[in-house]
Amino acid sequence: MSETDSIEFFTSFRVEDLWFLLEAAGRTLLISVLGISGGTVLGIAFGWLLSIGRWYGAATLGWVLDVFRSVPLIIQLVLFFNFFPIVGFPLDPFGAGTLVLVMYTSALVAQVARGGIEAVSISTRRAARSLGMSYWQDLRYVVWPIGIRAVLPSWTGVALGVLKDTALVSVLGYMELLRASQILITRTQEPFLVLAVVGAFYFALSFPIARFSERLERRWSHD
């Protein structure tokens, strides 16, 4: 405390604040992992449906996914967060944020997945079937490995984008990195320091994804 008895509104950045940020980074990581993995699984299923190309699939699913792709994520978050209680299904910021992130990611991944499936020529798939492979064996042993090699860089781009977009869940009050940094900035009045530290955290989360995908790509290239 200061020598005078005046009230202190602001206190400087302390070591404990790093722990506060680290916890928030953990939440960013959690919601990212859930959003990206859930969205990827769902997106692959959607991409497969789109690739089958039945008109009703393209008309309904394609349209819904276009909406999720086109409306800014922050608007989707606010809309759904307020919409769930109206339909008698109230969700906390974490639940609502995760759900919206999964849908948003799945819409992006669906296009990537469709691209991967279409990267495998019809004649290659016919060759697989001519060997007696079932439809699912063709998907599992031929389309999947060829397709994923073709679109891994695109998927990585989506994943990194979503990781950074989790910052928007802060508008719902979920205490992730950005939200935590805002609180610290208000208290310490040291935006440069806090944002630099938070930026470093985001980098630390993104970097492994980028490196992992780079290594896979290198392993898969035979040149």
Partner 1 sequence: MIEIEGVRKSFGPLEVLRGIDLTVRNGEVISIIGASGSGKSTLLYCINGLESIQGGRILVDGEDVHGRDTNLNRLRQRLGMVFQQWNSFPHLTALENVALAPRIVKGKSRAEAREIARAQLEHVGLGDKLDVYPSKLSGGQQQRLAIARALAMEPDYMLFDEATSALDPELVGEVLDTMRLLANEGATMICVTHEMGFARDVSDRVAFVDEGRIEEIGPPSQIFGAAQSEKTQRFLAKVR
Q: What's the rounded Cα separation, in Å, for the pair 166 and 215? A: 25
Q: Which of 120/180 has CB closer to partner 1? A: 120
Interface pick for partner 1 out of 48, 149, 152, 164 (rule CB under 8 A): 149
**Least Cβ distance, residue 53 to partner 1 (angstroms):** 17
Q: Which is nearer to partner 1, 218 or 222 (CB)?
A: 222
Q: What is the maximum span of the chain, computed from C-alpha positions, in angstroms? A: 87
Among 2, 4, 70, 130, binds partner 1 (CB under 8 A): 130
3-state helix, strand, coil in the chain (%, to 5): 80, 0, 20
- Binding flag, residue 123, partner 1 (CB under 8 A): yes
Q: Which two tokens stand for residue 156?
A: 């990585």
Q: Which of 127, 196, 200, 204 binds partner 1 (CB under 8 A)?
A: 127
Residues 158-217 that bind partner 1 (CB under 8 A): none
Binding status of residue 145 toward partner 1 by CB under 8 A = yes
> What residues have CB less than 8 Å from 147, skipping those under 6 apart?
113, 116, 117, 119, 120
CA dist 110 to 13, 18, 66, 212, 222, Å?
43, 38, 10, 22, 28
Say whether residue 129 binds partner 1 (CB under 8 A): yes
Distances (CA, A) of 48 to 57, 63, 105, 208: 10, 15, 15, 28
User: Which among 3-11, 126-134, 162-170, 178-186 is the span making contact with partner 1, rule CB under 8 A?
Assistant: 126-134
How many whole angstroms from its chain centre is CA 144? 21
Position among 34, 77, 96, 142 found at the interface with partner 1 (CB under 8 A) = 142
Q: Which residues bind partner 1 (CB under 8 A)?
A: 121, 123-124, 126-134, 137, 141-142, 145-146, 149, 220, 222-223
